[in-house]
Structure 1
Amino acid sequence: MSGNLNDPVRRTRRDSASLSSQASGDVEVPIKDLDHKDIDADREPPYSSDVRYEYLEFETALPAYATTHIHADAPQPPNLRNYESPFSWSSSRKTVVLILCTFATFCAAYSAGTYSMAKEPLMAKWGIGTVAFNVGVTTWCLGFGIAPMFLAPFSEINGRKPVFIISCVVFVAAQIGCALTDSFAGMLVARFFVGGSASTFSTIIGGVLADIYHKEDRNTPMAIYSGGALAGTGMGPFLSGFIIGRVSWRWVFYHQLFLDGILLAAMFFFLKETRGSVLLSRRAKALNTYFEALEKSEHFPPPTEKPTSDTYQPTHLIRYRVLADEQRSSIQRMIYLSTTTPFKLLSTEPVVFFFSLWAAFAWATLYLTLPAIPLVFTARHNFDVQENGCVFISLTVGAIVGALLSIYQEKAARKWWPHLLEQPEGRLYFACLESALLPIGLFWFGATSSSHIHWISPVIALGVAQVGIFSIYLAVFNYLADMFNGLGFLGASCLLGGVGALLTLVPWVLVFNGERIRRRSKIAREIMEGPG
């Protein structure tokens, strides 16, 4: 038997007991003897009793009888619409997935911000200080950062949907834990699992959008998804501020169970699998099962049918395999690569390092606002918990403005400057300007945080900074996918603004030197040369 993966493998009925793929090192795959009626030699076309093993792709032409019910008593062919390439889905079907993904990432971000609004009652309950209380934000972020490295391999093997469903269940259970716990340690553990399960909705969802949209169509879905992520961060504290002012702190977590329950039900009933390799494996299995059943029936070989553009009339028996299944590493190896590759890329790839630094600062600034807003507006403007919650709505407004701006910019660029989007650096031109809104907003916030200045000014500054954070978040996602007490309010804000101003140079450097940097990067070259 040839070990060449590009050649079909033939087996006769006499020696069809097993198949061993030498090239891929797979274990033997037993094939059942084909116990069908003798083939009529006078029937056209003449069928060979050989079994040909072919690699299946979504574009592979199928035997005519694979899609046609040849007789009322014959086995029913599989409904291949259930195993179509996600790229070929209708716009409405893709929109349903996009809505579910946006709602999921909104719920994930929502859970991050609600905790800070329960500060006063929880500090009083457990007798802890502000620093200790804020560890609850840290544990959420730790879970959020660690979990994807272990969850991503399972989504590649088993598909996106099972990982989402399991994450939703853990998400709901962890929220119940937050609501019921009577200890600070219990809260920290529950917050870790809330962040870990929520990470699925903010990391793997990027892969879901890449599963169903080609890169030239990806900006608008990514903008909507990113807007949901950042809008949820502001909406959580906004609504929780009203809750904490009226009922027990536990309802800060109880009310999220309503949203999370809706999310779990929607994911279970309406989310379709989007991972192409998983769907292709299911397609191959369904076809092979049907072929085996048909060959054992009295209706095989089927009558000759005129081939179409998608079918042909074979002269042999067919079994399909999927190349990705044979080339896939073990789960242990995949987890190892998933947990080590990020650190390898950070230490060897300048593009990844500086973009990660840029995005990390933007995210750190975003989560710093969660405890900072109540601190500033309570001290300077005597805001109560509900009024502090209302300040957070500026983050949601900023996210919505950023998303709308990004969608408009993409359309304008395609109309007036289509050449800008031919290279990955084309994703950065608008970010070069808009990312400056982050340090501008931080300087503005710090300079207007005094009690004698109207509170609306720092609120607007937060919204401006959020637009800058959004532009960074979206630019990093798109680019890589294609390739306060010690210093005082003014001092802390200006320090962050200064760091943000320095990091604003990152997209400018990549715009003018990105092509040269990518040429020096082995991984970037492989990504650019691979299929889009």
Structure 2
Amino acid sequence: MEKPKDNETSDMPTEIREPTVRADTTLSDKPPIQTDSDESNDELLVTWDGDDDPNCPFNWSLARRWAITLLCSMGGMVTLMSASMLAPALGDIGHDLNITESEANMVVSIFVLAFAFGPMALAPLAEVFGRRWVWILASTWYVLWNTVCGFSHTRGLMLAGRILSGLGASAEYAISTPVLADCWRAEDRGHSFAIATFVPLLGPAIGPILGGVITEKIGWRWLFWVLSIFDGALVIYALLFFPETYHRLLLHRKAVKLEKETGRPFHTKTDAHNQPLVRKVCYSLARPCWMLATQPTIQIMAIFLAYNYGVLFFVLTSFASLWTEKYHQTVLISGVHYVALVIGYTVAAQGGARITDWLWKYLTRKRGETAPEYRIPLMIPGMVFLLAGLFWYGWAAEAIAPWIVVDIGVAVFGCGVILSTQAMQQYVMESYKEYVASANASSQFLRSIFGFCFPIFAPALYNRLGYGWGNSTLAFIMIGFGVPAPFVIWTYGARLRDKGIQRAKGKVFLA
């Protein structure tokens, strides 16, 4: 790959520009301390009290930052378990509710559909009211409606409960990545991001295992109730130990406190939180849609993430039926095979964490500056493993090969999903740090729609083409537009971000 070229950005809004950091300075993300002469002479301007200000989330103790990270990660695991845990129980759910196989699959996929729309509201609200209360209230909403699903006896109530609980569960997509950006500096984000995304992705793997056991032993309704109990415990923990992490809001609160104590009009750099509430909420709610419509790099990432996620849920929802229908195994045993995905996730998360942090530091020293494109190289092995896993799993299943051969293929696929997804999400985080919640929501909008649609046509595709050609079709499509993705972003990413930033100049959505 050639070095990505950054265009001149000195006249661009600082709120969304990624500043260049020379190699002879620290590689850390600086707290917003002013260097401009006019601003530094403004004694009423509130910033952090130096790089080591203990009130800045970057400088909180390691234990505290990990506790926050793991809380959000566990919430994400509940979210993804709620989507996949039903896979072994779809037959029983369909029988008890008197619905078809496609309608039973929709019980899973409609939950995922809510992930598209929930973050588009929750993420901007987190930029107005902070991360803490948005996460807590959304999680409480999930617990309520997920519990209702366990009591449903009709298709309508089940589908309504699933989509409403999905809106609450989508807080994981709206809050987790922004919290990571709040708490961890750039050189530490690879490792923290790997753990934070690895734990949630255990959900799609562990979920079906537990789902098979619970369905067989005590019935499918307890799938919902067990998840509600677990997430309820997380909400109680968050009430006690989840502090606010959003830098802008913390500085605004500091300014308000100083103004009350002294009577002087202290202010922050943007003063966005001093705007009228209705104005703040309206602009914030419009921001993710506006970014998706105007920022080319977000548009590109949205497409690639969407197809990755769609294929992942395609595999997750159909994997259990492979073992029950073609290998004639029990529902319980079919769930155990998801351990293969856990192994693939683990290898990718732990290996990818170290590689991405090493690459970030190495490229920064070599090039003399930082750039979001330094997160992109990990997409290449991710795509290779993802494609290899699809072909391997599909043709092994088609030939009814020994179970270990199929599971190895799925593990390779899971490894590729983790590597490529982490690289893309970290790229978005590094590109739009000031509005990472909105940027993250807009980049994931399409992927949740794909995650909803793909499982619906999975049975028809496998029935018509079989596992071999069915998976190969998905892989060939990905080769067409997914393989060039890292090279396009590496070469043109800086230019495309510059184009998007030029469009943003003077826009109230990024004020």
TM-score (structure 2 length as normaliser): 0.78
Question: For residues 244-267 of structure 1, what are the alpha-carbon distances to aligned partners after superposition, in whole Å with 9 as ceiling and x for unaligned?
Answer: 111121111121123112211111
* Aligned residue in 2 for 1:271: 242
Q: Does 2:487 correspond to 1:508?
A: yes
Deviation at 1:53, TM superposition (A): 8.9
Deviation at 1:348, TM superposition (A): 4.4
* Aligned residue in 2 for 1:55: 45
Q: Does 2:448 correspond to 1:448?
A: no
Matches within 5 A, 1:130-529: 130-291=101-262, 318-326=264-272, 337=283, 341-413=287-359, 418-419=365-366, 422-450=370-398, 452-483=400-431, 484-502=462-480, 503-522=482-501
SS of the counterpart of 1:459? helix
> Structure 1 207/415 Cα, relative in aligned 2: closer, same or farther at 3 Å?
closer
Is contact 2:205–2:341 with CA below 8 Å preserved after alignment? yes
Q: Does 2:81 correspond to 1:110?
A: yes
Deviation at 1:501, TM superposition (A): 2.1
Aligned partners of 2:68 and 2:488: how far apart in 1? 36
Aligned partners of 1:320 and 1:60: how far apart in 2? 18
Aligned partners of 1:281 and 1:346: how far apart in 2? 28
SS of the counterpart of 1:55? coil
Deviation at 1:351, TM superposition (A): 2.4
Is contact 2:89–2:220 with CA below 8 Å preserved after alignment? yes
Is contact 2:45–2:269 with CA below 8 Å preserved after alignment? yes
Is contact 1:153–1:334 with CA below 8 Å preserved after alignment? no
Aligned partners of 1:273 and 1:348: how far apart in 2? 30
SS of the counterpart of 1:441? helix
The amino acid of 1:501's aligned partner reads I
SS of the counterpart of 2:44? strand
Is contact 2:187–2:360 with CA below 8 Å preserved after alignment? no
Is contact 1:119–1:133 with CA below 8 Å preserved after alignment? yes
Aligned partners of 2:272 and 2:359: how far apart in 1? 42
Is contact 1:288–1:320 with CA below 8 Å preserved after alignment? yes
> Structure 1 424/153 Cα, relative in aligned 2: closer, same or farther at 3 Å?
closer
Question: For residues 66-111 of structure 1, what are the alpha-carbon distances to aligned partners after superposition, in whole Å with 9 as ceiling and x for unaligned?
Answer: xxxxxxxxxxxxxx97xx2212222222121112121111111111
Question: For residues 359-388 of structure 1, what are the alpha-carbon distances to aligned partners after superposition, in whole Å with 9 as ceiling and x for unaligned?
Answer: 111111111123211222222211211111
The amino acid of 1:514's aligned partner reads G
Question: For residues 294-348 of structure 1, what are the alpha-carbon distances to aligned partners after superposition, in whole Å with 9 as ceiling and x for unaligned?
Answer: xxxxxxxxxxxxxxxxxxxxxxx64423454456655555555556554554454
Deviation at 1:403, TM superposition (A): 0.8
* Aligned residue in 1 for 2:9: none
Aligned partners of 2:192 and 2:503: how far apart in 1? 24
Aligned partners of 1:128 and 1:162: how far apart in 2? 38
Aligned partners of 2:45 and 2:206: how far apart in 1? 49
**Structure 1 stretch 514-523 or stretch 412-421: which is displaced more?**
412-421
Aligned partners of 1:411 and 1:478: how far apart in 2? 11
Is contact 2:373–2:493 with CA below 8 Å preserved after alignment? yes
Is contact 1:518–1:525 with CA below 8 Å preserved after alignment? no
Q: Which has the larger radius of gyration?
A: 1
The amino acid of 2:160's aligned partner reads V
The amino acid of 1:432's aligned partner reads I
TM-score (structure 1 length as normaliser): 0.75
CA RMSD of aligned residues (A): 2.7
Question: For residues 272-307 of structure 1, what are the alpha-carbon distances to aligned partners after superposition, in whole Å with 9 as ceiling and x for unaligned?
Answer: 11011222222233334444xxxxxxxxxxxxxxxx
Aligned partners of 2:202 and 2:315: how far apart in 1? 14
Is contact 2:193–2:353 with CA below 8 Å preserved after alignment? no
The amino acid of 2:478's aligned partner reads G
The amino acid of 1:259's aligned partner reads F
Aligned partners of 2:46 and 2:287: how far apart in 1? 30
Is contact 1:441–1:462 with CA below 8 Å preserved after alignment? yes
Instruction: State the number of aligned residues.
Output: 431
Is contact 1:378–1:388 with CA below 8 Å preserved after alignment? yes
Aligned partners of 1:191 and 1:269: how far apart in 2? 28
SS of the counterpart of 1:179? helix
> Structure 1 92/456 Cα, relative in aligned 2: closer, same or farther at 3 Å?
same
Aligned partners of 1:212 and 1:523: how far apart in 2? 29
Structure 1 gap segments, 5+ residues each: 1-51, 62-79, 292-316, 527-532
Is contact 1:231–1:397 with CA below 8 Å preserved after alignment? no
Deviation at 1:236, TM superposition (A): 1.0
Is contact 2:188–2:357 with CA below 8 Å preserved after alignment? no
Aligned partners of 1:416 and 1:425: how far apart in 2? 13
SS of the counterpart of 1:57? coil
The amino acid of 1:440's aligned partner reads A
| Aligned partner (choices 95, 98, 102) of residue 66 of structure 2 | 95
Aligned partners of 1:479 and 1:414: how far apart in 2? 11
Identity over aligned residues, as a percent? 25
Q: Which has the higher contact order (CA 8 A, sep 6+)?
A: 2
Deviation at 1:520, TM superposition (A): 3.9
The amino acid of 1:504's aligned partner reads V
Deviation at 1:444, TM superposition (A): 0.7
Deviation at 1:485, TM superposition (A): 2.1
